Amino acid sequence: MNTIEEQLWDYIDGNLSAAQARSIEEKIDSDNAIRLQYEELLALNLTFGEMELDEPSMSFARNVMERVAAEVAPVALKTTVNTRIVYGIAAFFIGALLAVFGYAVYSSGIDISALNWNLKFGVDISKYLTSTVVYTFLFVDLIIGLVFLDYLLRKKAMHK
């Protein structure tokens, strides 16, 4: 609900409906405090009405527009993302995931020799596929991957 002061301002400005205006008139007539507040607000409203409004000079808009035109237009910021940082973060997380996966496979205790590696040709491959062979294969793959990464990095460095 509006405070009495807001209601009195609305009554003075004529922003109330007829029923609300009658209600405020009854409050003004019945309560001396509200009547005193109404008279103060009415006097203040009359004082505001008598004041002259300050207006800018005739050339104000032209002067402002000339100053705006004289200002240097701001240059749009062109921010670039350093891709080396993004690739470095991605490489770190991929390496961390591969390390966790490798540790999980290593510590899982899977015995490769216990797997049935019989091919269609009747050759039992389990005697050739030992843990040493698998680790050697993974090591060689790692070395090949590092050589390929070195090749890519050198190729990028040569283009710059």
Mean pLDDT of the chain: 83
Question: 17-50: per-residue pLDDT in tens?
Answer: 889 889 888 888 998 888 899 889 988 888 888 8
Q: Residue 109 region, left (φ>0) first, then alpha (ψ -120 to 50), else beta?
A: left
3-state secondary structure of 22: helix
Residue extents of the structural domains in the chain: 4-70, 80-109, 112-160
- Please, what is the end-to-end C-alpha distance for the chain in angstroms? 71
Q: Where are the alpha helices (DSSP H) in the chain?
A: 4-13, 18-30, 32-50, 60-70, 83-107, 131-159
Round to whole Å and give the CA distance between 115 and 117: 6
